[in-house]
Amino acid sequence: MNVPTPQLCPTARTFAQRLSSTRRGARLARLLAVERLTAWETSPQVVERAEHVIAELAANAAFHGRVQGRDFLLVLTLDEATGILRIAVSDTRGECHPAMPPERGPDDESGRGLLLVDALADRWGTEPRPPSGKTVWAEIDQQAGDREQLLWANSAANAVEDGQTL
């Protein structure tokens, strides 16, 4: 007797795109990610948090992780079973970022991007990407207080823009 085998639906959605290590590539990473997350019907709060995280990580990959003639890679993974969105940006420069960025003075013009990532993501970190390179990743839990986290992160972002420490 032929009995059909039940098929399990995939529990993870994935999007991956290589982009040029330029300002345009960083901007395109953000725009493509927002489009994909919207198509996946991700909550607007998660999309907004992810947009800021992706903008920072892509800008870092394009400028600080740039190796002439090499692209960076953006990977989004949405695990529907756990509700976790994982953002991973890989570049070809091997130096890893510190676990937390160093303190910045109020007049410093750069160096606050990872503070924003820390404020917006539920978890983040770095991993080596052999043979030479690194991946900076961030995770956002869709079920974990999107509204409160977004409100706190927006106030944190405003404080960083004003040169205040968190």
Domains of the chain: 12-98+111-154 (3.30.565.10)
* Pairing status of strand 12-19 against strand 134-141: unpaired
Higher per-residue pLDDT: 28 or 92: 28
Is it the case that residue 24 has pLDDT exceeding 90?
A: yes
Average pLDDT on 26-39 reads 96
Give the highest mean pLDDT range of 81-90, 95-104, 143-152.
Answer: 81-90
pLDDT of amino acid 141: 95
How many angstroms separate the CA atoms of 37 and 13, rounded? Answer: 10
pLDDT of amino acid 31: 97
Contact 122, 140 (CB under 8 A): yes
Question: Strand locations in the chain, DSSP E?
Answer: 12-19, 72-79, 84-91, 123-128, 134-141
* 130: its two tokens: 């052999």
Give the highest mean pLDDT range of 13-22, 28-37, 59-68.
Answer: 28-37
Tokens 């892509």 -> residue: 58
Higher per-residue pLDDT: 86 or 128: 86
pTM of the shown model: 0.75
Is it the case that residue 113 has pLDDT exceeding 70?
A: yes
Is it the case that residue 4 has pLDDT exceeding 50?
A: yes
* 93: its two tokens: 């420069």
CB-facing half-sphere around the CA of 73: CA atoms within 13 A: 14
